[in-house]
């Protein structure tokens, strides 16, 4: 796909999505009544709801205010900041503590000496770490596109924008809600919570007061707090008295860090029953909802949605991306891994599976797919 093709496609689906967003809440909430009672905070949410993954990261460098703003304008119901923390204890939006993949820090001679190797959740990791920078220092850096070989168009924005704080995102969410005439939710994820707690910078102690201060600590608020570690979600619920909806992120394999049960055990019907009453939803890899065959083609639906719904949990899988290389092999169009494939069809299959929400780097596409899926 040429740059012009990609821009035209983006403009087209963006315009369609923008038209859809002017519908009043009541008209855009044609969800089946049964799904309304699942989880918390479902009042007035379209089903499936659309989460702008790291903003509209298919079109802008991820985790920038520009990316979040575009996602909301494209029709996303939520914007998704991943949260890490600075040396002076400020929550900021990056996908990981190591920031050389998404900022220009490696080009800054004044920070060259901060390059180091640390053990992150048991994995030796080399680079520049957010917790070694004060907020003032971090603000001198600029965001860059994570996938320049895949999303070359996005590199025109390299160097323009700062790393946002979580508080800025909370303010932006409020302003976008006013501007667009519909409530834009926020879907923050605590990244590596045990790691940050062990180095004396616990994320939750900063997160919960902000959620409270911005009026989002109630079960119907336009927020979901997510984590790949179940233990910090349960701690926030029991010890920190968090009322806001909580979503446990899961992987197709492995064990949550600092846990003794595997994701598979935690997602079994018996495993789900041990914590379902304390949280509100699951965020699985989408391949845990519809399996992929060994040849990379799309396989059969799993029992995960049914099992989660049976214990009152909503299901919002991650992450649908439009490019061929991220799609099942039988959903690709042509041989270029960076061209767009049959992403609409994949979204329709996931919507058919009964999911309650979807994370996408292309929120405009997920919104159009929802409109066409509803017929
Ligand atoms: O939070 C949902 C999804 O974002 C989880 O994956 O690695 O993109 O944060 P990741
Ligand atoms: Ca995330």
- CATH number for the domain harbouring residue 51: 3.20.20.190
* Angle, helix 230-238 to helix 204-213, in steps of 10 degrees: 50
102 within domain boundaries:
no
> In angstroms, what is the span from residue 109 Cα to ligand 1's centroid?
31
Q: What was the pLDDT predicted at 162? A: 98
Asked whether the predicted pLDDT for residue 5 surpasses 90, the reply is: no
Using pLDDT thresholds of 50, 70 and 90, give the confidence band for residue 239. very high
Confidence check: pLDDT of 35 > 60? no
Residue 34 or residue 284, greater confidence? 284
Residue 123 maps to a domain: no
Would the pLDDT of 28 be above 80?
no
C-alpha–C-alpha distance, residues 141 and 203, integer Å? 22
Which residue's alpha carbon is nearest to atom 3 within ligand 1?
A: 318
41 vs 276 pLDDT, higher one: 276
| Residue partners of 36: CB distance under 8 A and separation at least 6 | 42, 43, 47
- Give the number of other CB atoms < 10 A from CB of residue 162: 16
51 within a domain of the structure (yes/no): yes
Domains of the chain: total = 1
What pTM value is reported for the model? 0.91
Cα four-point dihedral sign 133, 138, 140, 144: positive
Please write the tens of the pLDDT for every residue from 159-193: 999 999 999 999 999 999 999 999 999 999 999 99
Average pLDDT over residues 50-75: 98
Q: Determine phi and psi for 299, rounding to 5 degrees.
A: -105, -145
Q: Whose CA is nearest to atom 2 of ligand 1?
A: 318
Mean pLDDT along residues 258-280: 97
Does 255 score more than 50 pLDDT?
yes
CA distances from 370 to 20, 51, 215, 339, 365 (A): 10, 12, 29, 22, 8
Q: What is the pLDDT of residue 1?
A: 45
- The string over 124-146, giving b where at least 16 C-beta atoms fall within 10 Å of a residue's C-beta and e elsewhere, is eeebbbbbbbebebbeebbbbbb
Instruction: Taking residues 111-121, report their average pLDDT.
Output: 97
**pLDDT at residue 43 greater than cutoff 70:** no
Task: Please give the pLDDT value at position 41.
Answer: 52
- pLDDT the model gives residue 42: 55
Distance 218 CA to ligand 1 centre (A): 23
Probe target for ligand 1 pocket from 52, 101, 249, with the most ligand atoms within 8 Å of CB? 249
Strand, helix or coil for residue 124: strand
User: Within a 10 A sphere around the Cβ of 326, how many other Cβ atoms?
Assistant: 17
6: pLDDT strictly greater than 80: no
Domain region containing 364: 6-85+163-374
Residue 21 has pLDDT above 50, yes or no: no
249 lines ligand 1 (CB under 6 A): yes
The residue-averaged pLDDT of 182-209 equals 98
For residue 93, being part of any structural domain is answered with: no
136-140: long-range pairs with CB below 8 Å, 24+: 137/111, 138/86, 138/92, 138/163, 139/163, 140/108
Instruction: Take atom 6 of ligand 1 and give the residue whose Cα is closest.
Output: 318
> What is the per-residue pLDDT for 340?
98
pLDDT of 74 reads 98
Structure letter (DSSP) for residue 108: -
The whole-number pLDDT of residue 40 equals 52
The atom number, within ligand 1, closest to the CA of 359 reads 2
- Mean pLDDT (whole number) for 63-84: 98
Identify which of 49, 57, 80, 82 to mutate to test ligand 1's pocket (most ligand atoms within 8 A of the CB).
82
pLDDT of the residue at 193? 98
pLDDT score of 23 more than 60 = no
Nearest CA to ligand 1 atom 1: 189
Q: Is the pLDDT of residue 18 over 80?
A: no
Establish whether residue 319 lines the binding site of ligand 1, counting it when its CB lies within 6 angstroms of any ligand atom.
Answer: yes
| Interval between CA 191 and ligand 1 midpoint (Å) | 9
260 pLDDT tier (thresholds 50, 70, 90): very high
Examine the pLDDT at 25 and tell me if it is beyond 80: no
Residue 189 Cβ contacting ligand 1 at under 6 Å = yes
Q: How confident is the model at residue 375 (pLDDT cuts 50, 70, 90)?
A: confident
Length of the chain: 375
Q: What is the pLDDT of residue 263?
A: 98
Structure confidence at residue 245 (pLDDT): 98
Determine, yes or no, domain membership for 259: yes
Ligand nearest to the CA of 249: 1
The answer to whether residue 140 scores a pLDDT higher than 90 is: yes
Q: Ligand 2 centroid vs 117 CA: distance in angstroms?
A: 23
What atom of ligand 1 comes closest to residue 53's alpha carbon? 4
Mean pLDDT (the chain, rounded) = 91
Does 156 map to a domain?
no
For ligand 1, the distance from its centroid to the CA atom of residue 339, given in whole angstroms, is 22
Mean pLDDT over 137-157 rounds to 98
Average pLDDT over residues 124-130: 98
Decide if 67 is inside a domain.
Answer: yes
In a domain, 216, yes or no: yes
Which pLDDT belongs to residue 38?
60
């Amino acid at each position: 796909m040429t740059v012009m093709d990609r821009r035209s496609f983006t403009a087209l689906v963006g315009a369609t999505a923008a038209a859809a967003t002017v519908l009043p809440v009541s008209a855009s909430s044609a969800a089946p009544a049964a799904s309304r009672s699942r989880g918390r905070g479902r009042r007035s949410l379209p089903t499936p709801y659309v989460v702008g993954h790291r903003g509209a990261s298919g079109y802008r460098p991820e985790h920038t205010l520009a990316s979040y703003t575009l996602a909301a304008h494209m029709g996303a119901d939520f914007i998704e900041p991943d949260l890490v923390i600075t040396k002076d204890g400020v929550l900021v939006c990056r996908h990981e503590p190591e920031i050389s993949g998404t900022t220009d820090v490696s080009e800054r001679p004044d920070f060259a000496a901060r390059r180091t190797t640390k053990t992150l959740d048991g994995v030796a990791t080399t680079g520049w770490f957010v917790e070694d920078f004060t907020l003032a220092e971090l603000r001198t850096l600029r965001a860059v596109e994570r996938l320049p070989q895949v999303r070359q168009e996005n590199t025109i924005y390299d160097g323009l924008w700062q790393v946002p704080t979580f508080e800025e995102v909370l303010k932006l969410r409020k302003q976008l809600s006013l501007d667009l005439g519909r409530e834009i939710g926020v879907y923050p994820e605590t990244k590596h919570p045990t790691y940050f707690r062990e180095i004396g910078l616990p994320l939750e102690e900063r997160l919960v007061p902000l959620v409270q201060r911005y009026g989002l600590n109630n079960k119907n608020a336009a927020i979901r707090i997510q984590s790949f570690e179940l233990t910090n979600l349960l701690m926030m619920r029991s010890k920190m008295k968090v009322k806001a909806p909580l979503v446990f992120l899961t992987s197709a394999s492995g064990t949550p860090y600092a846990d003794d049960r595997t994701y598979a055990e935690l997602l079994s019907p018996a495993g789900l029953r041990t914590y379902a009453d304390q949280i509100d939803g699951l965020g699985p890899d989408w391949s845990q909802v519809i399996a992929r065959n060994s040849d990379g083609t799309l396989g059969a639906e799993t029992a995960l949605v049914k099992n989660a719904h049976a214990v009152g949990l909503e299901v919002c899988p991650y992450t649908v991306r439009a490019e061929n290389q991220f799609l099942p092999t039988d959903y690709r169009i042509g041989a270029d891994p960076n061209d767009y494939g049959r992403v609409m069809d994949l979204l329709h299959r996931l919507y058919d599976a009964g999911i309650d929400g979807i994370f996408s780097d292309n929120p405009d596409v997920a919104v159009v797919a929802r409109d066409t899926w509803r017929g």
